[in-house]
Every structure is written in C-alpha cells, then in structure tokens.
Structure 1
Amino acid sequence: MKKVKIMTSTTTKRSALLIAALTATLLISGCKNVPPVTSGMGSDQIAPGQKFSKHLQVHNPELGKKLHISDIRSRTSNELLEINLSLTSTYEKTLKLQYQFTWFDKDGFVIEAGKSPWQPLDLHGMQTATVPGLAPTTQVASFSLYVREVPEKFFKF
C-alpha cells in the first residue's frame, strides 16, 4: 500500500511539474511580439515612424524624437540607385536642418565616405519634405540619411 502512495505521489509531482513547465512556456511565448498571420501573410506591428528607422541617423536624441522617415521610394536610374525619402517633423515649430546621405555596398562598407555634401532643409511645424538622393556608383546596395540641426547662431543675422 505504501509503495502505491509513493508512486502516486511521485507521479503527481512529475505531472504537476510538467504542467507548470508547459504553462510557463505558453505564458512566455504568448508575451513575445509575434506578428499575427492572416491568409498566409504576416502583418508588421511597427509603431509609426519606426518602419524605416534603420535608415535615419540623428546623433542628437532631442532632435531624433522630432523626426522620422514616413516613406521611402527607390528606383534604378542609369543603373544607379535613386531614393526619394519622406522626412516628417513631429515638432510644431520650424527645424533648420542639414542632411547627408551615406551609401553602403552589399557588404555594408561605406562607398565614397565624406564626398556627399551637407544639404540645407527647413522643416516647418509638422511638415513632411521629400529628400532626394542619387547613389554615386552602381555598387550601392543601401544607405543612411544623417540629419543634424543647424545651431541658431549660424542662421541669425
């Protein structure tokens, strides 16, 4: 009789541990941010402005909170990558900015570093502006847009 109770007790403990482990696994996997799948297609769960964030480089955190890329259009023109990027301000006042493209090859190496000049850009409150870019060579595979704010002392007369 006692052996049966020990086996039942051990089996019960094992079952309880297994149930606890399965429950923990289900709870943990249920907390992951997995895009839902419908009709064989996944949908991105990306916050507005985050979809293209890998292409925007802003080294001023305060300015970075005020800007995001809302759209990117690209095409090949004479075998060169041509970009039309929509840069959107979420700030209610005018931002005096400069931007510069950095171009990368398929291995992630910079192509013609420092040769692209800084271009001026005024973004008025909540405005979206199209920023054009043309790759310098046919080896370009990706890009980043660097944006910096022009200090007030440089544009006040």
Structure 2
Amino acid sequence: MRLLMILGLVLGLTACSSTTSGISIESSNQNVVIGNTDLARRLTIEQAQVGKVNGLLKAGVPIVSNVDSDLSLQYRFYWYDAQGLEVNGSDSPWRHVILHGRDSMTLQAVARSAQITQYRIYIRQAD
C-alpha cells in the first residue's frame, strides 16, 4: 500500500514539477518531490527519522538501492524554523556517498541551531 502511495505521488509530482536534478523530501509532511525519474526508479526513500541531540534536531533519511550496480549520490540538508522559513546560513554542503547495489543506508545530519524544527533533504546523482 505504501509503495502504491509513493508511486502515485511520484507520478503526480513528476508531471507538474520543474526540471531539477534529483529528489527532495520535506520533514514536516514527508512530501517527496521527484525531479529525476530515473533516480526515483533506482532508489527507494523510507520513512524519515527525526530526533534530538543535545537539544538540536537530528534528521535521518533511510534510502535503499533498487538496482544491482552502485549508485554515486550527493545529498544536502536545508534547515527551517517553526514558521517554515529557511534559517540563514543553514544549508549544508553537498555530501557524496556510494550506495552499493541492493544496499541501504541512512543519510543523517544535525541542525546547527536550536531554532531549527524542520528540514528538507535533496538527493541527486553525482556526476
């Protein structure tokens, strides 16, 4: 059932999204926005995890490879306050990971400020 919901969301959002380089997930509502349908077929995004570390928001986004070959990926977190406004200087650098065939991993980061309550993660294929 969850897979069908994700596939429906993928198809619906792909039809109305502008050209982007990857996939984004919002923590507030778990919306997944697909900008790269090839990557979306090769990668499954599981339910995001949110916690606290020393009073700071900790985000974890589990991903699973749907292919036998390695995926070279980059990801980046953006951080937002309770009103949904991006916190100045909160974007993190692009991080590079290799997701091996049929393997899984969790992409993680910790916010830099206690005022951060939400995040968005972008995932794209590395060049």
Q: TM-score, normalised by structure 1?
A: 0.57
Post-superposition Cα deviations, 1:76-97, rounded to whole Å, max 9, x if no partner, equal 1121001222111112211111
Q: Percent identity?
A: 26
Larger Rg: 1
Specify the alignment match of 1:87 in structure 2.
Answer: 63
Which consecutive residues of structure 1, in runs of 5 or more, have no partner in the other structure? 1-44, 152-157
1:121 is displaced (CA, Å) by 0.7
- Who is 1:130 aligned against? 106
Find the counterpart in structure 2 of residue 143 from structure 1.
119
Number of residue equivalences: 106
Mind listing any 5+ residue stretches in structure 2 that lack a counterpart?
7-24
Greater RCO, 1 or 2 (C-alpha within 8 Å, sep 6+): 2
Matches within 5 A, 1:6-155: 45-47=1-3, 50=6, 54=30, 56-112=32-88, 115-151=91-127
Distance 2:104 2:61 in 1: 10
Q: For residues 49-79 of structure 1, what are the alpha-carbon distances to aligned partners after superposition, in whole Å with 9 as ceiling and x for unaligned?
A: 83xx635555322112222222433221121
| 8 Å Cα contact 1:58/1:147 also seen in 2 | no
More strand by share: 2
TM-score (structure 2 length as normaliser): 0.69
Instruction: Measure the CA separation in 1 of the matches of 2:88 and 2:4.
Output: 32
Alignment root-mean-square deviation, CA: 2.5
Contact 1:103 1:111 in 2 (8 A): yes
